[in-house]
Amino acid sequence: MATVAPGQTAQSRPKRRRGPGLLTAILVLPAALWYALLLVAPLVIVFIFSFGIRAKNGGYAPAFVLDNYARAVQKSEPFILSLEMAIFGTIGCLLVALPLAYFIATRARRRKGLLILLLVIPFWTSFLIRTYAWLLILGPDLGLAGLLQGLTGADKIQILGTPIAVMIGLIYGYLPLMIFPLYVTLERMDRTLVEASKDLGAGRWATFRQVTLPVALPGLVTGSILVFIPMMGEYVIPQILGYGRTYLMGNALVTDFLEARNWPQGSARAVFLIVVMIVTIAGYVWFVNRGRTTRDVSVL
């Protein structure tokens, strides 16, 4: 048996691997075409446009100037606000997600499945609907603002239209993206490590810091990145819950492109955002991996 099997696979393997090149090309072609035309081409166009000037009626006129980048850096308030919101939002998600992921990972098998299903259901439903629902929950009529007004006797408590409402929306909207990877790493964790740590006299906190946290780190990094990226470019939540007053990067981009119709300015802002994001994420992954012998934290 053992002598026949390798011989057989050796015979059949090369035939499979080489395969008809035409078939491979046909299989990969549609996806390659889509990536080229709808991902690479738009990004290349935006990169080229970022050096141009605004045409008289709006749009793009060919030129080579760096003014757009200078302005994108000078008027960087939306970017800085986005960065602040995304960082606090990520920390918020982490604080909410970590105990929950740990709780689910330590349940019995059946219970785990149910709890995860209960997480997938809201994640599966429309983001827009889940966001606008907070208008009702935080609102002055029936919601939290009304309740607080009644309790404190204050004249007017405004939650909607403030950064707080946007922050609640951000954490709510992206929480599952933090919970899933954390849960996956904690679920795979060797439970005997915790037992060992306790047997060796470590307290609850020391065990958490020295055993659980390092094990959960890859999930923590993946979750943070998955949450941070969409928060940086968020457009719907500040529009709905912030009444457009919390002016984030997404809103600035839409204003540049559609209202001011200054495509080069918007393009420069977009390129700036992409570059900063790539540098931030790469830096973060490097920071977490430093001092580790194996690179077990990757981007995804």
Partner 1 sequence: MTAPAIVASVDRTRLPASRPRGDRWGPLVEGYFRAHAWIVYLFLYLPIFVVILFAFNSATVATADWEGFSFRWFGIALDDDVVQTTLANSFIIAIPNAILATAFGTMAALGLQRVGKRVRGAFDVLTYMSVIVPEIVIALATLVMFATSFDTLNKWFGIKLSLGYPTVIAAHVLFNLSLVLLLVRARLSGMDRTFVEASADLFATPWRTFVQITFPQLLPAIVAGFLLSFTFSFDDYVITTFVSGPGSSTLPLFIFGQVKRGVTPETNAVATMMLAVTMALLLVGQLVLTWQSRRAGRRSAVTMVEIVTER
Which segment (12-20, 65-73, 154-162, 289-297) binds partner 1 by CB under 8 A?
A: 12-20
**DSSP state at residue 291:** T
Contact with partner 1 (CB under 8 A) among 148, 189, 215, 277: 277
Is the four-CA dihedral 174, 118, 94, 96 of positive or negative sign?
A: positive
CA distance 83 to 79: 6
Instruction: Write the interaction track for partner 1 spanning residues 196-235; mark x where CB under 8 A is met and - where it is not.
Output: --xx-xxxx------------------------xx-xxxx
CA distance 98 to 92: 10
Contact with partner 1 (CB under 8 A) among 67, 87, 88, 119: 119
CA distance 243 to 159: 11
Q: Which is nearer to partner 1, 25 or 291 (CB)?
A: 25
Q: CB under 8 Å to 148, separation ≥6 — which residues?
A: 154, 157
> Whole-number minimum distance, CB 291 to partner 1, in Å?
25
Helical H runs in 19-76? 21-35, 41-49, 67-74
125 binds partner 1 (CB under 8 A): yes
Classified as helix, coil or strand, 133 is: helix
> Whole-number minimum distance, CB 124 to partner 1, in Å?
6
87 binds partner 1 (CB under 8 A): no
Contact with partner 1 (CB under 8 A) among 124, 156, 259, 293: 124
Contact with partner 1 (CB under 8 A) among 183, 186, 242, 297: 183
Residue 134 tokens, joined: 């907070």
Q: Which is nearer to partner 1, 198 or 245 (CB)?
A: 198
144 binds partner 1 (CB under 8 A): no
Q: Which is nearer to partner 1, 30 or 291 (CB)?
A: 30
46 binds partner 1 (CB under 8 A): yes
Q: CB under 8 Å to 197, separation ≥6 — which residues?
A: 206, 207, 210, 211
CA distance 178 to 180: 6
275 binds partner 1 (CB under 8 A): no
Contact with partner 1 (CB under 8 A) among 263, 265, 268, 297: 263
CA distance 220 to 97: 10
Torsion angles phi and psi, residue 129, rounded to 5:
-65, -45
73 binds partner 1 (CB under 8 A): no
Q: Which is nearer to partner 1, 168 or 291 (CB)?
A: 168
38 binds partner 1 (CB under 8 A): yes
Classified as helix, coil or strand, 292 is: coil
